[in-house]
């Protein structure tokens, strides 16, 4: 069994484990460990940044993967990047000898807070279209500190004016909701909005994958200071 360690600073390891069959952390011949202290691993990936404490392996140089967009986290210093064998990123010009410029992986958010929570096995059979008794939903927080945030809010206002009572708007500071499942599954259409656009930006793909999931179609290092 190939042992894969994933380290990230976001605390909850369950988000990634529930994306594997029966929440066992195993996919094919790979076993995944999330933010765990293990004696050895075959591959080590670090997402976005390091927690205050993490494992070290003399025989493994980790691979660094950026998740946040350049507009949210614009600077990654060279000393931090030098610790890694490879860097997987998008939309950035990084000073590293081995940068793979491609779509970065994203954690599922849908189904995290439903009761019971949704796991990989819940996304196998399709939801009957008869269960979708509402027309359109859109999710947008009231954040406005970037240009993209402000454009997003302006577009949501246009949607509201056009569709009226046929569209439901959700989001932090506007209309809170327990889980993305609750504001997407009952709807025939969902409008996906982003606040950034750059080369190989992955999150529009993530939003599309949510829609596929909801219809159940098949698919000691130096911590960088913020």
pLDDT at site 15? 76
Cα(185)–Cα(80) distance, integer angstroms: 41
What does the mean pLDDT of the chain come to? 80
pLDDT at site 168? 96
pLDDT at site 218? 31
pLDDT at site 211? 52
pLDDT at site 90? 80
pLDDT band at 31 (very low <50, low <70, confident <90, very high): very high
Please work out, in degrees rounded to the nearest 5, the angle formed at the alpha carbon of residue 33 by the alpha carbons of 32 and 35.
145
- In percent, the amount of the chain with pLDDT more than 70 equals 78
Domains detected in the chain: 2-101 (3.40.50), 120-214 (3.40.50)
Contacts for 180-184 with beta carbons within 8 Å, 24 or more apart?
180/109, 180/110, 180/111, 180/139, 180/210, 181/110, 181/111, 181/114, 181/118, 181/214, 182/114, 183/137, 183/139, 184/110, 184/137, 184/210, 184/211, 184/214
Which residue is associated with the tokens 């993530």?
Answer: 206
> What is the per-residue pLDDT across 74-111, written as a single tens digit (0 to 9) for each?
778 888 898 898 999 887 888 899 998 887 777 777 88
Q: Could you tell me how far CA 3 lies from the centroid of its own chain?
A: 22
Are the C-beta atoms of residues 109 and 213 closer than 8 Å to each other? no
């Amino acid at each position: 069994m190939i042992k894969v360690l994933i380290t990230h600073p976001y605390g909850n390891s369950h988000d990634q484990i529930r994306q594997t069959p029966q929440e066992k952390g195993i996919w094919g011949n790979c076993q995944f460990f999330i933010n765990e202290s293990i004696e050895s691993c075959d591959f080590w990936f670090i997402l976005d940044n390091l927690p205050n404490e993490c494992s070290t392996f003399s025989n493994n140089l980790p691979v660094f993967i950026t998740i946040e967009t350049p507009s949210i986290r614009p600077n990654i210093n060279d000393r931090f990047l030098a610790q890694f064998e490879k860097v997987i990123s998008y939309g950035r010009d990084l000073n590293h000898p081995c940068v793979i410029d491609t779509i970065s992986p994203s954690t599922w958010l849908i189904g995290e807070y439903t009761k019971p929570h949704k796991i990989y096995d819940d996304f196998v059979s399709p939801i009957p279209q008869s269960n979708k008794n509402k027309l359109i939903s859109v999710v947008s927080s009231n954040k406005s500190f970037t240009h993209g945030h402000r454009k997003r809010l302006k577009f949501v206002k246009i949607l509201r004016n056009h569709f009226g009572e046929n569209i439901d708007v959700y989001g932090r500071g506007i209309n809170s909701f327990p889980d993305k499942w609750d504001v997407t599954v009952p709807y025939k259409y969902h409008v996906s909005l982003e606040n950034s656009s750059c080369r190989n930006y992955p999150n529009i793909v993530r939003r599309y994958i949510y829609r596929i999931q909801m219809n159940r179609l098949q698919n000691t290092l130096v911590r960088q200071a913020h």
